[in-house]
Amino acid sequence: MKFQKANCLKGEITVPGDKSISHRAVMFGALSEGKTEIINFLQGADCLSTIGCFRRLGIEIENKNHIITIQGKGLDGLCAPSGVLDTGNSGTTTRLISGILSAQPFTSTLTGDASIQTRPMKRIIEPLSLMGAHIESLHHNGCAPLLIEGQPLKGIHYHSKVASAQVKSAILLAGLYADGETSVTEPTLSRNHSELMLRSFGADIKIDGNTATIIPRPRLTGQKINVPGDISSAAYFIAAGLLVPGSDILIRNVGINPTRAGILKVAKAMGGHICLLNENRDGEPTADLHITYSPLHGTVIGGEIIPTLIDELPIIAIMAAAAEGTTIIKDAAELKVKESNRIDVMVQNLSAMGCSVTATEDGMIIEGKTPGVLPLKGALIHTHADHRIAMSFAIAALIAQGETEIPDSGCVSISYPSFYSDLHSLSESI
């Protein structure tokens, strides 16, 4: 797909449902008693992988008219799958379901695509093994495919080396089946969707600072879940509205959970004009986001804010390339083990577009634009099949001189199948 510089972006959009919440709603609904309905479920490949895995585990799931209906069977209602469980490209599915499968009275094999088979699973294998799980990396490299032999589990208090909602959630889900309380302490707080949603389904969860504790064997009850718009998807349009002169964009019903919404803080720190309208703080907090064009300046991004915007760092790097001054991204080594090595891939592609950018061990140093000069030039973008790279450079193309080509543009279907049509709806020049 080819892109040109945009004149301005104006209009109103609604982004797809939150990816993290969609995954969890399916999983928790499956482990609950009775019916769970999910409205505004993200119909992306990753979340559909979660549905596919739980169907193979014996759960009846209907996907019709944009509503997911799950007939839950309770904590002990899963059955042995007839074949391999394929998680596709989804790290969330792979890690969270591992916690559940560790406690089941059957053996499962879990695999995914080529990317998943390179992503680190030792971070969940270690704590789950401490709980008594039997998990084998079949290629003996700490990655999928995983052979999981369900076992009786014991409660532990695990001090995680990384602030990762996937690691935390895998342990808490295993803790549902343990013989005593299970606690996870993180170095900094990661997104808390699991804690909020498990509590709404009936789990007993205690929160003390960066420590989450779950009491085993709750009776989970089916719920009606209305999934807010994904701020990770909204992020591209936040950036587009800030970067393209004359732009004025309204994004409806976006999740603004403070453990996820770090991009709003960074955008404002860079001088971005973002107004929150119609805020709703019941359950998962939401708001409409009104974004208008804003000259940006460089900043330093690191420390405790990183887990709240780890998925948005590629598009933040685009914002930095168009800002005046230098932006430093640090404490973000986690970028190396996403769908691609996002530090290296961002540096390669930004360099191709004429940006002065340097990779570091845990981030990047980005030199912003010269006043009065277009910050970037069109280039051939290599996405490495990473959806967030493709979407980030589609936005970069809107402020670049000349044509930008993204050959593997279809990978956006992993998280945002309608991304290009939504982008087109805001500008006839694309």
Residues 249-279: b if buried by 16+ CB within 10 A, e if exposed: bbbbbbbbbebbbbbbebbeebebebeeeee
CB of 239 within 8 A of CB of 318? yes
What are 356-365's contacts with CB under 8 Å, separation 24+?
357/317, 357/321, 360/330, 361/333, 362/330, 362/331, 362/332, 362/333, 363/301, 363/302, 363/328, 363/329, 363/330, 363/331, 363/332, 363/333, 363/335, 364/317, 364/328, 364/329, 365/326, 365/327, 365/328, 365/329
State how far Cα 286 lies from the chain centre: 17
Residue 372 makes CB contacts below 8 A (sequence gap 6+) with none
Strands 107-111 and 85-86, how do they pair? parallel
CB of 399 within 8 A of CB of 374? yes
CA nearest 415: which of 386, 381, 394, 377?
Answer: 386
DSSP string, 121-137: -HHHHHHHHHTT-EEEE
d(CA 161, CA 36): 34
| Catalytic choice (311, 344, 386, 422) | 311
Residues 227-248: b if buried by 16+ CB within 10 A, e if exposed: bbbbbbbbbbbbbbbbbbeebb
408 counts as catalytic: no
Q: Which residues are catalytic?
A: 311
